[in-house]
Chain A
């Protein structure tokens, strides 16, 4: 297997978020039909919201992978845009790949099955960090809702975690 193939494999994976964050996501994404979306600053497509939550969760440093049954799929990873940021996300996960049990050098000699497990795990960890991020946002939404009226709310959340 070469580099392009593994890239494609990762790209074809469907990404999920925890279903319990459905209303939150719709509240802060334009894709949602929430009538309140005009009042608050909001993201565009769900993958943007997802990548944002991922970055939050990654900065917090905790990954809480999804349990089965509590997932809502939205896009394949390859759909994520813009491409440089998508690659950055991948980069961040690859930086931690040893933590979830995969060394780069070992992958060179790994079987197809192992590679597939690796690909699944990448996505799983991605979802895990995003899960942490969504939890964080949900908490803010419930307890500090007024902050969402500030157009810089999402920038502020990031700066709080630096």
Chain B
């Protein structure tokens, strides 16, 4: 599966709406190019991109921490 496909598939998870209260339209609009206002979506992106770029876990984690700090 491509990163796009993985991202789209993951966004189908009910947790986004049930736990994080993200609307369906916001989920549909989420993409790699545009930064989302939801931290959880950014975390998901960071993980997928980090994997795709063969980053090690430590780097990915630090990246995520950085993302969270911005929120």
Q: Do chains A and B touch in the complex (CB under 8 A)?
A: no
Which residues of B are at the interface with A, using a C-beta cutoff of 8 A?
none
Which residues of A are at the interface with B, using a C-beta cutoff of 8 A?
none
